[in-house]
Copies of this chain bind each other. A is one copy, B any other.
Amino acid sequence: MASADQTATDHSVGLVEPQTFQFDEPLLLVCGRTLPGYQLVVETYGTLNADKSNALLICHALSGDHHAAGYHEGDARPGWWDQHIGPGKPIDTNHYYVVSLNNIGGCAGSTGPTSINAETGKPWGPDFPVVTVTDWVVTQARLADRLGIDRWAAVAGGSLGGMQALQWTIDFPDRVASALIIAASPKLSAQNIAFNEVARRAIMSDPDFHQGRYAEHAGVPHHGLMLARMLGHITYISDDMMRERFGRELREGKVNFGFDVEFQIESYLRHQGETFVDRFDANTYLLMTKALDYFDPAEPFGGDLGKALANVQARFLVVSFTSDWRFSPQRSREIVAALHQNRKPVSYAEIESPDGHDAFLLPHDRYEACLRSFLAQNQTAGRAH
């Protein structure tokens, strides 16, 4: 903890504790089902100012959660976006009151497949309803109500998190002053859906999946979830970065003409798969990939993203990374083009990076400078408002 404490003194938000909010008002979901009530687990960093105008919402990606920054007691590693959130960091907690939550359907404390379904007294498991980005935005708006936040100074997220930020600007145009949409896409491509489908098949065809009722069988679909994560990781990092980090290096310096791990990349992927199984729920993985597949804010507007964005009021920062082939710069530029079409204020940064989709989580001077400069303008704009 020494290093964590040191960081805490310098640029970390330090030790943090999640809070739980209970919502008893039923939630009608896009799928047509109603969740009778739910809870959200939330972390906040920084201080809400008197007029509650400095709140910044963080939306998490597929495997993320509420723990975006700082340390939990006893943990060696900080939250998933600690690189960018903290005092003096690009998302500066000296200025912003940062709110980060685990979405419903998740497995880190908010109501999801691992929660107990009050009607049956058993975990929801596969009976948990399919949730969408639109549903999450509604729950996040209710959380804002609870916190007394009428309007977010900013809503920010990478990947699936960026999709939530985009949906916010459409569904609640007067409640978002600015949106940071990073390494995202206005909708998935057929190839993106294909990768998700193979990951889902891997989980669902694992005999330990038991139609999603593995909790009742005291097991988990270990192999399936591991495969899903391994496959995901291939799409998170770039071919160049893989070449640079792993090349064709052999773990034991020579091939062994067998089917155990031989190349370093195999070892890396298996490690990623193994550690993921210990911390993530398979039913949640299925739900998150479906939320990705279904995301298409232009769909209610006849497929016209320009029309979907006609009434947004936010200032936008759209960021992409050159080596990101999961959501390539081309996909980010579709969002930018639709905003331009509506003469909406948007800054676009295409960051030169070898780190693929993962780049949105990693240190990068120019990327951080973009976040910093956009959010600094925001403070000025906020004061003038």
Contact = CB atoms under 8 A, between A and B. Distances in A.
A62 interface: no
B296 A259 contact: no
A181 interface: no
Interface in A183-221: 187-191, 193-195, 197-198, 200-202, 204-207
Given A259-B204, A286-B259, A296-B248, A227 B230 contact: no
Contact of A189 (B204, B206, B207, B242): B242
Interface string A237-251: 001001101111000
Contact of A290 (B31, B223, B233, B259): B259
Contacts of A35: none
A32 B257 contact: yes
Contacts of A189: 239, 242-243, 248
A201 B188 contact: no
Contact of A248 (B193, B205, B266): B193
Q: How large is the interface on A (under 10, 10 to 19, 20 to 34, 35 or more residues)?
A: 35 or more
Interface in A237-280: 239, 242-243, 245-248, 255, 257-259, 262-266, 269-270, 273
Nearest to A211: B259
A193 B227 contact: no
B265 A194 contact: yes
B201 A230 contact: yes
Contacts of A174: none
Contacts of A223: 201, 205
B31 A195 contact: no
Contacts of A188: 248
Count identical subunits in the complex.
2
B194 A269 contact: yes
A155 to B, nearest CB: 25
Nearest to A224: B205
A57 B259 CA distance: 30
Nearest to A245: B190
Nearest to A266: B197
A194 B247 CA distance: 11
B202 A227 contact: yes
A300 to B, nearest CB: 13
B246 A190 contact: yes
A197 B130 contact: no
Contacts of A273: 201
Contacts of A294: 255
Contacts of A144: none
A231 interface: yes
Find the residue from A187, A194, A243 having the highest chain B CB count within 10 A: A194
A201 B272 CA distance: 14
Contacts of A263: 190, 193, 197, 293
Interface of A: 30-32, 129-130, 187-191, 193-195, 197-198, 200-202, 204-207, 223, 226-227, 230-231, 233-234, 239, 242-243, 245-248, 255, 257-259, 262-266, 269-270, 273, 286, 290, 293-294, 296
28 contacts: A129-B257, A189-B239, A190-B246, A190-B263, A191-B239, A191-B243, A193-B248, A193-B265, A195-B234, A197-B230, A197-B265, A197-B270, A198-B230, A198-B231, A198-B234, A200-B259, A201-B226, A201-B230, A204-B259, A205-B206, A205-B227, A207-B207, A227-B227, A231-B231, A248-B296, A257-B290, A259-B290, A262-B293
Pick the 9 closest A-B CB pairs, nearest first: A205-B223, A190-B242, A31-B257, A130-B257, A190-B265, A191-B239, A190-B246, A197-B266, A194-B234
Given A189-B242, A195-B234, 9 more contacts: A187-B248, A190-B247, A191-B239, A191-B265, A194-B242, A194-B265, A200-B259, A259-B286, A263-B293
